[in-house]
Amino acid sequence: MVSDTFRYDHCGWNGNHWIHTPDLDRFAAEAVAFDHHYLSSFPTIPARTDWFSGRFSFPSHGWRPLDPQVPVLAGLLGRTGYLRQLIIDNPHMMKGTNHFDRGFDGACWLRGQEGDTYLTRHNHLRPVMPSGKTRQKPRPQGYSLVDIHRATNFDWAWEEDRFAARTLRTASRWLEENYKAEQFFLWVDCFDVHEPWDPPEYWVERYDPSYAGAPMLHPNYGPADVYTEAELANLRAHYAGEVSMISRWFGRLLHKLEDIGLDERTAVVFTSDHGMFLGEHNRTGKSNIWPGDERRWPLYEEVAHTPLFIRVPGLRPRRVSALVQPPDLMPTLLELAGTGTPTAVHGRSLLPVLRGEVATHRAVAISGAHRGAGPEVAVRDGRFSYYPDGETGTPELYDTANDPGETRNLAPLEQGEVRRLEDAWRSWTAEHGAQAAAGPGGVDW
């Protein structure tokens, strides 16, 4: 189960006492919860490339279709007789020739998320948010993505009409219709909690009961100070409402698994590709596309730190501190299925951690976004986070154990730590076949 854009810190089980996620918390209490799970390749499509291929994609390319020559998770599971189903409402995985349905026996795409205009409804197009408060591009038909989304789905009346409900209801139905299969692999990919954030208003009012302005349904992918304090609070409330709705409907999927008697012999994973800025570092969105804002957007904690809960029957639930990343998921699932892992895979199975045989997994977690001339990179070791190019092109180092908001740059004072993490970064690039060279602000490509 993937919930797109789900921040690590927006889950009750991970210490957020403001957010309401009882069904997800209940599941996490039965699972192994990873406290240091960090994105690998950013954003949406590169992240899924890493999941499906078990490889870090960002060193060599950015957003592109899944390579049809690369062995993928679903295809490998098919060799041992698994029935494989993909259920998604994420338009980017299926548009054009992205090939993310490769290897599955069935693929179900629920249409209409974000800017997926499968049926134009021009007569219903009207501004939903003030233009200066939302994302400026793309502007299909001259309207913002949130306008297009609302027009496409204008006839929603109930919570059950929302994508989170529809996608997870479809997954529940699939379980009913396929539970007699001896082995199955179901990948459910919810675009929620990705924006537009449009849960029923009663979810939003739980977090912002007195707001009376225009609804803040979509971040601007730019500076947070374009919003008033009340608007920013409402933006956060809409995000939180989506999180709560995902928790509720994920819980119903888990109940279905129990009803059909498969919960005691089925492994279940909940995770996300990346997070989202909700005002931190004067940012709203996950990357900078705001006209006139020249800042770099490093992969700070709010974007890079994501939840990972893995429940395997017979394994003791607990929290673990091992550093892990998305390419590790493929070999983990293949080992659970008794299937061999290709030698070219970068990830390593998490089963030794899940079983409690080892306490560590990776020495560092490397995250990157391949943009323009090369990737933007973040290096983490479980305590320090290091950004070679930072916000202004100079290195940034944070002690996240004592400064989780990454507000005090220690790079000028802790040159030893900077050198240590740069060395770890160089070793990682050598191991993964990348070419790194010293340059302004640390390492570039």
Q: How confident is the model over 296-340, as pLDDT tens digits?
A: 999 999 999 999 999 999 999 999 999 999 999 999 999 999 998
List the 32-37 sheet strands across, edge first: 106-109, 83-88, 184-190, 2-3, 268-271, 308-311, 32-37, 318-324
The fold for domain 2-362 equals Alkaline Phosphatase, subunit A (3.40.720)
> Helix 329-336 vs helix 44-53: angle between axes, to the nearest 10 degrees?
30
- All structural domains of the chain with their residue ranges: 2-362
Digit-coded pLDDT (tens) for 37-77: 999 999 999 999 999 999 999 998 889 999 888 999 999 99
Say what the pLDDT of residue 371 is. Answer: 73
Place of tokens 């409690």: 356
> What percent helix, strand, coil does the chain show, rounded to 5?
35, 15, 50
Count the residues in the chain: 445
DSSP labels, 60-119: T-SS-PPPTTS--HHHHHHTTT-EEEEEE--GGGTSTT--TTTT-SEEEE---STT--SS
Question: How far apart are the C-alpha atoms of 337 and 405, rounded to whole Å?
Answer: 39
Task: Tell me how far CA of residue 313 lies from CA of 251, 256, 267, 372, in angstroms.
Answer: 17, 16, 7, 45
pLDDT attached to residue 437? 32
For residue 443, pLDDT over 90 is answered with no
Tokens standing for 96? 């054009």
